[in-house]
Amino acid sequence: YATASQLGFHNDPSDLTCLLCVRAAKTGGVSRVASAAAVYNEILTHHPEFLEPLYKGFHHDVRGEGPSGDFDEVTETRIPVYSYFEGKLSCTLNSKAIATARVKMGGTRSALERAALDYIEERAMQPDLRFEFMLEPGDIVMMNNFCVLHARTAFEDWDDPARKRLL
């Protein structure tokens, strides 16, 4: 909602994401979804070495919305990308929040950490794992943030404020 640029695969920090299209953009803004479990299975099959850094997780930039309200605040603990809760696989991925937290904390990610995060994006983009759709006015989509990754293409908006994209 804050940028017209392309958004990579992620999930939001809530149980559920609901999007209602009130107005579509002039062009672009195609939604993409992928099963976090299908991506996980690809990791298990092809790159099990990625599991350790993904289970260990990463600090996230909370963008001023944490307990202190400080814009430079990051999560106190690492948040696993993949974990199990009550026997069910769960995914928490926000590469941008991970990257900006790293900048705020200083240092760099290891080559293995970078490769693991890149592989998730790469696999989620594969046509056999992703589904694409265009939200039109009146369409609504609901996604479980623990098992679905979502993304969208860049879009061009209308100049007229009354016609601008509104989800």
Structure-token match 């260990």, residue found: 56
131: Cβ contacts below 8 Å, ≥ 6 apart: 32, 33, 34
Tokens of 108: 């760099």
Checking if the pLDDT of 4 tops 70, the result is yes
pLDDT tens string 70-122? 677 888 899 999 999 899 999 999 999 999 999 999 888 999 999 999 999 99
Which ranges constitute the DSSP H helices of the chain? Answer: 36-46, 51-56, 95-105, 111-124
CA distance 100 to 70: 14
Do 130 and 122 contact (CB within 8 A), yes or no?
no
CA distance 151 to 108: 25
Checking if the pLDDT of 21 tops 90, the result is yes
**23-27, 70-74, 79-83, 124-128: lowest mean pLDDT where?**
70-74
Number of Cβ within a 10 Å radius of residue 62: 22
Q: In the prediction, which pLDDT does 66 show?
A: 65
Checking if the pLDDT of 129 tops 90, the result is yes
Could you please report the per-residue DSSP string of 22-33? SB--SEE--EEE
115-118 contact pairs (CB < 8 A, 24+):
115/47, 115/50, 116/43, 116/47, 116/50, 116/53, 116/54, 116/81, 117/81
Beta-bridged to residue 61, according to DSSP, are 74
